[in-house]
Amino acid sequence: MITTITIFIPLIGAILMLLLPEQERPLRYAALAVAAVPLLLTLYIYFAYGSGLGVPSLTQDFDWIPSLNMGYRVGLDGLGFGMFFLTALLTLIAVVASYDVRENLKQYFAILFIAEVGMLGVFASEDLILFYIFFEITLIPMYLLVGIWGDQNRRQAAIKFFVYTFLGSTVMLAGFLAFGILAGTYAMDSLTAGGGLGRTAQIAIAAPILFGLLIKVPAVPLHGWLLDVYVSSPISTNVVLSGILPKLGTYGLIKVAIPLLPEGVEPFLPYLAAFGVINIVYGAFVAFLQPDLKALVAYSSIGTLGFILLGAASGNAVGLNGAVLQQVTHGLYSALLFVLVGVIAARTGTRRIRELGGLAARMPWAGGLLALGAMAAMGLPGLAVFVSEFMSIMGGYEAFPVQGVLAALGIVLSAMYLLYMLARVVFGPIERPAYEAIEDAGPMEMAAAVPLAVLLVLFGVFPALLVSVQRPGVEAVLSAIGGG
């Protein structure tokens, strides 16, 4: 019952937001209270049940449409818990970081909470059709968050996001429907190891599912929607867009496609690993060319997502554990960087890298946290991304040596553009006299950034805090695919 309550608390919050008067301070306090509840419930689950999440736990299962074998089936396991926690955390961070949203505030919070329902639901679904429904619930809210509260290019960005993701999810649904019809059920626990289907049928079903999920990641070259959406969105929306939305695709690969269709996915695994390497290398090269700090962070995000694809394709314990952990660590560092980009742009009036400089002297807190986020993104030892990337590379190298080596070289490329950015923006000369008088990050901005920085350090020093929870779920995937 607690899983369902956690999923739908934000829906109650959305209704509450719409009923409240349009007064900024009460709205923000109410939104903070609503967003805090799922996070507190998730922390309770971790401390009370974390070690027992090897198989789906805290489940609810009842028939929804019995004639079609569809049911409301939810539960939490080690594969989904990390992202369940991250969704609750980053939604709260997005509320804190919503200082850049001034108009139609209660509608903004209501739509954000509806999106949270969909995201939490995806990471707890144990039924293919329910997975798809929650997957789609996120589409319209994110379209509205970008299209209404974005910058001058928001409509074009929102339409591009809608077209790409709706196409991907529709193709994915076709695969789900075919799978359920042929196997006789949509319940994931009954579909393990192909649901009794032969290799040819599994390949035919796996292809559209993989296509839909890779658009959501997005894997290059299916990434055409990402840059416009990231650059045009408010910073608070960026926190959710970068930290959670891509993981709907990667989580679908690890939770649905790979264990439920092992023979169908197997022929695609080398290509999945190749997509991962392309993301890593392409993201690094294009990030180096970006004049806009926000665009640089967006392409950095694309590159780091490639390690999840590589680890997921590996089919071994090290790589899969790395991929599952990377989903969380990527969300932490990308959200941190987007928050800090927002702070810097608000203080200086620009996001152009060549126009920025000297933040270490004038904005020591913002500059220092930006440096920490960048070092996490480049995989510095002692920070959480290093652990997950190292595991993904080692697992990927064991299965695909060439891809593993190229992924490791990709870390060098990311270090080059991130160090250049830091040298220019944080430690470079002050570019404008007006920057002499700018203020550092304020209390609300620090409240959004500091928890993310602390968790990057905490999970870097104590990765077992998450790995111990996710390991049983990874072992279940390995058992389904016959890996080790």
Which pLDDT score, from 0 to 100, does residue 391 have?
94
Whether pLDDT at 341 is above 80: yes
Whether pLDDT at 435 is above 70: no
Which pLDDT score, from 0 to 100, does residue 482 have?
72
Which pLDDT score, from 0 to 100, does residue 174 have?
94
Q: Are 247 and 119 in contact (CB under 8 A)?
A: no
What are the pLDDT digits (tens) for 191-248?
Answer: 877 777 888 999 999 999 999 999 988 888 877 777 788 888 888 899 998 899 999 9
Give the type of residue at 82: G
Which pLDDT score, from 0 to 100, does residue 113 have?
96
Whether pLDDT at 484 is above 60: no
How many of the other CB atoms lie within 10 Å of CB of 123?
Answer: 27
Give the type of residue at 216: K
Cβ density class 402-418: b for 16+ within 10 Å, e for less: ebbebbbebbebbbebb
Which pLDDT score, from 0 to 100, does residue 431 have?
63
480 token code pair: 């389904």
- DSSP secondary structure string, 401-442? HHHHHHHHHHHHHHHHHHHHHHHHHTSS----GGGGG-----
- The residues near 259 (Cβ < 8 Å, ≥ 6 apart) are 192, 193, 476, 477, 480, 481
SS3 call for 217 = coil
Taking residues 67-80, report their average pLDDT. Answer: 84
Which pLDDT score, from 0 to 100, does residue 212 have?
92
Whether pLDDT at 477 is above 90: no
Lowest mean pLDDT among 59-68, 80-89, 115-124, 365-374: 59-68
Whether pLDDT at 394 is above 90: yes
Which pLDDT score, from 0 to 100, does residue 442 have?
81
CA–CA gap between residue 135 and residue 169 (Å, rounded): 8
Which pLDDT score, from 0 to 100, does residue 480 have?
82
402 CA to centre of own chain? 27
CA–CA gap between residue 368 and residue 7 (Å, rounded): 35
311 CA to centre of own chain? 16
- By C-alpha distance, which of 176, 260, 170 is closest to 216? 170
Which pLDDT score, from 0 to 100, does residue 53 have?
74
Which pLDDT score, from 0 to 100, does residue 321 have?
95
Which pLDDT score, from 0 to 100, does residue 340 have?
93
Which pLDDT score, from 0 to 100, does residue 464 have?
92
What are the pLDDT digits (tens) for 122-175?
Answer: 999 999 999 999 999 999 999 999 888 877 788 888 888 888 888 888 999 999
CA–CA gap between residue 379 and residue 457 (Å, rounded): 12
Which pLDDT score, from 0 to 100, does residue 267 have?
93
Domain count for the chain? 1
Higher pLDDT, 388 or 101: 388
Task: Quote the percentage of the chain above a pLDDT of 70.
Answer: 97
Instruction: Return the DSSP state at 188.
Output: G
Taking residues 336-363, report their average pLDDT. Answer: 85
| pTM, rounded to two decimals | 0.93
Which pLDDT score, from 0 to 100, does residue 131 have?
94
Taking residues 424-442, report their average pLDDT. Answer: 74
CA–CA gap between residue 188 and residue 209 (Å, rounded): 15
Which pLDDT score, from 0 to 100, does residue 193 have?
75
Whether pLDDT at 365 is above 60: yes
Domain that includes residue 425, residue range: 2-481
What is the helix (H) or strand (E) element at residue 63, kind and residue range? strand 57-65
Q: How confident is the model at residue 434 (pLDDT cuts 50, 70, 90)?
A: low
Taking residues 452-459, report their average pLDDT. Answer: 96
Top mean pLDDT of 217-221, 356-360, 455-459 is at: 455-459
Mean pLDDT of the chain: 89
